[in-house]
Structure 1
Amino acid sequence: MTEASPRIQRLERGLFYALLVLLFWLPVPLGSHRPWAWALLEVWAFALLGGWLLVNAYSPRLQDLKPFAPLLGLFALFQVWVGLQVLPLPMGLMEAISPERAAHFLTADPQAALGTLSLDPNQTHIGLLKGLSYWCLLFLAVALVNTPQRLKLTALVIVLTGTFQAFYGVLLALSGSETTWILGFPNSTIATGGFRYKNHFGNFLVLCLCFGIGLLIASLSRKKAGSLREFLRGTLATLMNGKAVVRLCLAMMVIGLVMSHSRMANTAFFASLSITGVLGLLLIRKKSRSLTVLLASLLVIDLFIVGSWFGVEKLKNRLENTSFTQETRDEVNRYGLALIEQHPLAGTGGGSFYSAFPSVKGPEIQTFYDLAHNDYLQFAIEFGLPAMVLLGIAVLWSLMHAFSALRERRDSLMQGMAFAAVMAIIAELIMLLTDFHLQAPATAIYFLLCLALAWQARFMQAENRALTAQKKDALPK
């Protein structure tokens, strides 16, 4: 990378901080799950990418992104496929890809020469624009968060974002107000933060909690405290360097998570923490005793102490009383499989579930389902099985890199971020079974950040190596 002028450096630094502001903003307007909110997101993302391209024109740095090319390429291919779904295609190609859709067009007009794979081209076009903005932010996450200092700052901003959402959600739930303080929606004793749906709120907090736990692991001392004086000095350093603040943020987010009454979010959080904790103890080399103590304290303090004060018993009762006979989501899954059988390759088109599902649902489903309440099912229906496999490869490849970083990296920050990535991916894979979390832009983008985090933890230079490289570059030749 060539040395940039001070003006280009300021522009690049400004783009990074604008990205951080966007990350804080995303959950505020109902999880950005409204047309005006995701339109703002799209403009913001495209503008940031335009700014980065200008920086790259004066200071080329694309070569620095080579390690992340597979991740970016897989998601770019997915967006190309969504574009093909909405693009008018020759009828011969339509018959090869989706005979059902071709037959539909030819039945309506035997002379039809063009047709679209999507059952609802307008919704697919909306989804394409959102997806392109997601890809832009994924690209910017690996292009702008390019140093350990920026990685740590980004994780801290995400933790503060989750803490703000949790504090607002808990305060509003405990206020007794009949309506929310912003936009005047009906309010209850269930915490939802800036979201309208408690499960989206719970999912978002789980992702933020993963980043917070990663920061705590990154800050653990690798030295053993010998004397009481060293122990007190280490404790004072903990209070001064911010670990205590991060721990308080985690406690606040756990309170918000419990008060969301989201069964799957709470289950996924504690399950992923337990699974990743065991994996961390097995994979991390030269682990300190403080890591074991930290993981144990997270489970004991958050679940049994903080949780008991803020309603974990009620959540337990909700889990025990859950009955599939009282819900129709399993029937939605069963009938949704019929749509996959009808459109296995091409899918019905992004955003078309609400218009496609009524054609296959049975009489026992009286509720209108605009979303599948199972993102695996919805993605397979709307985008087809090959595109679903493509996304699966991206997620599992990211998880593999997170495992590798957890096992091989010696830098504490990279180990902590790898732990966060593994935990976040496991938790999200669990939560996607029972809801439509990735339909909310804020949650979808934060999950993409978790995938990017796995690659960064694997390939980003540690701080001491980066400084050494800079010093070598500064030496006269």
Structure 2
Amino acid sequence: MARAGMAAGFLYLAACMILGGSSAAGLLANAALQVMAVLILAILAFRQGASLFRGPLGALMIFGVLFMVFAALQAVPLPPGVWTALPGRAVAERAFDQLGLSLPYMSWSLNPDGAIAAALSILPPLAMVALLVRGGEWSRLLPVAIAILAVIAMLLGVAQQAGSRDSPLYFYAFTNWGSMVGFFANVNHQATLLLMSLPFVAALASPTLRGGRLLDQDRIPKLLILACLYALLAGAVAIGGSRMGLALLLPVTLFCIGMIVTDLTGRVSRLWLGSVALMLAAGAIVLAGSGAVLKQELSSQPGEVGTTRGIMWQRTADIVPAFMPAGSGFGTFVPLYRMNEEPDRRTRTYANHAHNDYLEWVLETGVAGILLLGAFFLWWGRRMVAVWRTPAASLGRAGSVATAALMLHSLVDYPVRTAAIAVLAAIACTFLAREPAPKPKDDPARTARRRG
């Protein structure tokens, strides 16, 4: 049973990486991953039952199920008296009135198909968490698997960049031709994968570093190999073409150094924390001052005004108030964005997402989505503090750094919407969840009273 679970976990992770590199372009591939996820969940539910929702990973399973139920409810048809009372539905009501049609039943989401797609998208990460509920020791091998897949993605990206525009190594028709995209459709998602793999490479050094055994001669070759691997993956991020990936490389590396320092000393160094805080503050000021990511054009058609992230964010933010507090529903960003563009400023750029997942989430889910996201952030913050205070929680610290990189990259992109990144995030969250919390120090007086 343990070996079967291990094989299923590794094979499913590899399948998600290879097939799950695009949220929209890989329709059939994503459908195959979702079918596999249903089979995995059905088998595990039959064998483990309610135990899937207990233990340290129970909260993750509950978050996943809540998201699925929330998205599915948005696709349920509602009577005209209900859906017309939701904010922002007046335009749909007027359309039926102008056509001379009676108001039909309509769902909470203005795009019920998009809501169903959102509900199905959570299946791959949910299946991976379920596989790890009783993962046992094999789950400790996952950092090795992640590192191997990251190296394969990096090598594939190098081969893509070295080839021609017609290279068969690109997986998707709509992609960043001539760039290092690996298994993905664009360079930003490739950068997210490599960034998230870096803390797991650093965590592989933990058994060598813990307890100050750095000078053990037998362990030096392993450290050198891991250092070279880290340098290769970091170098791929630096030259990959993702500006936000490059901006996040320094903070991720600083926290990986903090992981190593914590493994060596058994505690978080205050000097390191102060240095990281100063460097991150300086980097944030420089990034905000330059506005490199905000000003990066997403379209470069001759003779037209380019579309930047800043423009997209402003247009999206302008739509949000009309649909609060209910939200417009999953899958509605594209039509709403096009409807609210100024006709004389439209470009040929297809805005498939807001390039800020939090802003798009607020538009589509409203207050309920904000509360669900806030609950996850609260869980994440508590677990992050716990693993950084626990000397033996190296994989938990790696999970915290990997998820932090993903959440920061989501400020300017939408990486978690791909099955590959979503499953990697699920693995990172399982490590964050299952590492032990720090044991409270015994109070001498309390100890004496217990003995007495």
TM range (shorter): 0.7 to 0.9
Please give the root-mean-square deviation of Cα atoms over the aligned residues, in Å.
3.5
Tell me, what secondary structure is at the counterpart of 2:435? Answer: helix
Secondary structure of the residue that 1:86 maps to in structure 2? coil
Matched-pair contact (CA < 8 Å) for 1:173–1:189: yes
Aligned to 1:23: 13
Match in the other structure for 1:168 = 156
Spell out, residue by residue over 1:70-90, the C-alpha distance to the aligned partner (whole angstroms, 9 max, x if none): 332233222211111111123
Q: Deviations over 1:128-183 (max 9, x none)?
A: 21223433333333x143x3x22320121111111111122123323467523355
Deviations 1:384-436 (A, max 9, x none): 232133123213412321221220x232xx2x112212212321222111112
Contact 2:79 2:105 in 1 (8 A): yes
Please give the alpha-carbon distance, in whole angstroms, between the structure 2 residues aligned to 1:183 and 1:332. 27
In 2: Cα distance, 1:102 partner to 1:144 partner = 50
What count of residue pairs does the alignment treat as equivalent? 408
Correspondence 1:279-290 to 2 at 5 A: 286-287=266-267
Contact 1:20 1:157 in 2 (8 A): yes
**1-structure distance, mates of 2:367, 2:260:** 33
Instruction: Name 1:337's counterpart in structure 2.
Output: 317
Among candidates 417, 422, 429, match of residue 395 of structure 2: 417
Give 1:37 deviation, angstroms.
0.9
1:40 and 2:18 are equivalent in the alignment: no
Q: Find out whether 1:14 has 2:8 as its counterpart.
A: no
TM-score by length of 2: 0.79
Query: For the structure 1 residues 46 and 162, does the alpha-carbon distance in structure 2 shift closer, same or farther, using more than 3 Å as the test?
Result: same
Q: Which residue of 2 aligns with 1:351?
A: 331
Distance 2:398 2:37 in 1: 25
Q: Which range moved further: 127-136 or 197-206?
A: 127-136
What is the rounded CA distance, in whole Å, between the counterparts of 1:387 and 1:204 in structure 2?
A: 26
Match of 1:447 in 2: 425
Aligned to 1:473: none
- What is the deviation of 1:445? 2.1
Offset of 1:103 from its aligned partner? 7.1
Contact 2:87 2:325 in 1 (8 A): no
> In structure 2, how many angstroms separate the alpha carbons of the residues matched to 1:459 and 1:286?
14
- Contact (CA 8 Å) 1:349, 1:383: kept in 2 or not? yes
**Is the alpha carbon distance of 1:187 and 1:349 closer, same or farther for their aligned partners in structure 2, counting shifts above 3 Å?**
closer
What is the CA-CA distance between 1:264 and the residue it aligns to?
0.2
Contact 1:210-1:420 at 8 Å conserved across structures: yes
1:7 maps to which residue?
none
Does residue 246 in structure 1 map to residue 242 in structure 2? no
Specify the alignment match of 2:379 in structure 1. Answer: 397
Q: Which runs of 5+ in 2 are unaligned?
A: 280-289, 298-305, 440-452
Aligned twin of 2:206: 217
Q: Relative to structure 1, is the Cα distance of residues 171 and 53 closer, same or farther in structure 2, using a 3 angstrom cutoff?
A: same
CA shift at 1:276, angstroms? 6.4
Q: SS where residue 31 of structure 1 aligns?
A: coil
Q: Between 155-164 and 165-174, report the one with greater CA deviation.
A: 165-174
| 1:218 Cα deviation from its structure 2 partner | 4.7
Instruction: Give the stretch that moved more between structures: 328-337 or 20-29.
Output: 20-29
1:199 positional shift: 0.7
Q: Structure 1 177/342 Cα, relative in aligned 2: closer, same or farther at 3 Å?
A: closer
Does residue 125 of structure 2 align to residue 134 of structure 1? yes
Question: What is the CA distance between 1:281 and its match in structure 2?
Answer: 5.4
Instruction: Give a deviation string over 1:258-285, Cα, whole Å, max 9, x none.
Output: 2311110121132233256458858996
- Conserved in 1, the CA contact under 8 Å of 2:171 and 2:184? no
- How far apart, CA to CA, are the structure 2 residues paired with 1:195 and 1:184? 8
Q: Which amino acid aligns with 1:397?
A: W
Q: Which residue, 272, 275, 278 being the options, matches 2:252?
A: 272
1:78–1:391 Cα contact (<8 Å) kept:
no
Aligned counterpart in structure 2 of residue 388 of structure 1, from 352, 358, 370: 370
Task: Tell me which amino acid in the other structure corresponds to 1:376.
Answer: Y
| Structure 1 residue aligned with 2:71 | 82
What's the secondary structure of 2:21's corresponding residue? helix
Q: Distance in 2 between matches of 1:32 and 1:431?
A: 16
1:206 to 191, 195, 198: 195
Secondary structure of the corresponding residue to residue 168 of structure 2? coil
- Go from structure 1 to structure 2 and tell me whether the alpha carbon gap of 1:56 and 1:446 turns closer, same or farther (over 3 Å shift): same
Q: Indicate how the Cα distance of structure 1 residues 123 and 113 shifts in structure 2: closer, same or farther if over 3 A, else same.
A: closer
